[in-house]
Amino acid sequence: MSLVSLDPRFVRRVCLLCCHCVRNIAYYRVGFVNEEGSGDLKQRTQFGATVNGNMLDIAILEWCKLFADRKALHHWQRVIRDDIEQQRFLGELLRNASTNTNDWKRYLDSMRIYRDKFVAHLDDLSVMQIPSLEIALKCVLFLYSYIRANCPASMFAMPQCANLPEDLSVYYEGCRDEARGAYDSGKSR
């Protein structure tokens, strides 16, 4: 399905959200000793915990703009506008993320609850459930790849899109490497 009719400024904003999301997932995960987003933090200070938590919050906020809020300006269904193509895309997205429709709905709810109850507001829930970011990462990588494959190459040559990464997986790995470098340089001080 060609996305030729999309405004390049809109495509750029959606792609930037994808970049912001995966960058913050990368930074968040590398902040842990196991580099997968759980366990002990590499920097066990109030500063380290705050910065790491902020990266989680931003990753989830950006992801929700793309996937959790159907009325949001940059929701994936505003990129893929044809109903049949939306069904096909969602099916492929779920397969790529190794999930099914029911689990997807639960995942959307978990991301919304985290965002709404702990980031946007501080409600009375006593326990914070931090969603796994594995599905979020797979979804964003898939959406970005879809956009790159279905938008005309000339769109990404335009000044407003020229600096977007060609491959978001490579960009993600670069962000992980950058974060490792930052943590490693902090060890020597």
**pLDDT mean for each 10 residues of the chain (189 residues):** 84 97 98 93 93 96 96 96 96 98 97 88 74 97 97 89 95 98 78
**C-alpha span between 91 and 30 (Å, rounded):** 30
- Specify if 2 maps to a domain: no
The burial of 156, by beta-carbon neighbours within 10 Å (0-12 exposed, 13-18 middle, 19 or more buried), is given as: buried
For the chain, what is the domain count? 1
pLDDT at 16: 97
Joined tokens for residue 145 = 């790849």
Q: Are 117 and 13 in contact (CB under 8 A)?
A: no
pLDDT at 123: 66
Q: Are 117 and 125 in contact (CB under 8 A)?
A: yes
pLDDT at 58: 97
SS3 118: helix
- Specify if 104 maps to a domain: yes
- Specify if 152 maps to a domain: yes
- Specify if 175 maps to a domain: yes
Q: Are 48 and 113 in contact (CB under 8 A)?
A: no
The burial of 134, by beta-carbon neighbours within 10 Å (0-12 exposed, 13-18 middle, 19 or more buried), is given as: middle
- Specify if 58 maps to a domain: yes
pLDDT at 189: 52
- Specify if 86 maps to a domain: yes
- Specify if 180 maps to a domain: yes
Which residues span the domain enclosing 123?
Answer: 8-187
pLDDT at 1: 60
